Amino acid sequence: MSGAGCEYVVDASGCAAPRLTSLDALQALVDRIVRDLRLKPVGEPQWHVFPEPGGITGLVLLSESHLALHTFPETGFATFNLYHCRAQPAWPWERALAETLGASDVRVRTVERGAIIPSRRV
């Protein structure tokens, strides 16, 4: 790894609860993100299914940093963090999360990481 990079902070609301409790659906979504952005997982992703209402957390350790997702079926909400220490990847979060999770509103923010070069501070 090198550099400090950029983090995508993605909040999706209005999702269909059954999608947010489906480990298969979320694993397929993560596979799609990894494939589309050519990310390089290190080891196996870590998944945890919480007790009722059945939220799911996934953590993927990447050679580029990490991908994390959490789902909250009780509120139809899902969060994603993609921290990427190299070039900033583009991905159609809004469209893809509408398609796969039924999200009605997707908010994508980027957080620049690093405090080495003062001019890069945000």
The residues annotated as belonging to the active site are 65, 70, 85
Beta carbon of residue 90, minimum distance to its own copies (angstroms, whole number): 20
Interior/surface letters 1-19, b for 16+ CB within 10 angstroms, e for the rest: eeebbbbbebbbbbbbbeb
Report the DSSP pairing between strands 105-112 and 46-49: unpaired
Interface residues with its own copies (CB under 8 A) are: 1-4, 7, 9, 11-13, 42-43, 46, 48, 50, 55, 57, 59, 61, 63, 65-66, 68, 70, 72, 74-77, 79, 81, 83, 85, 105, 107, 109, 111, 113-116, 121
Beta carbon of residue 31, minimum distance to its own copies (angstroms, whole number): 18
Under DSSP, is residue 110 helix (H, G, I), strand (E, B) or coil?
Answer: strand
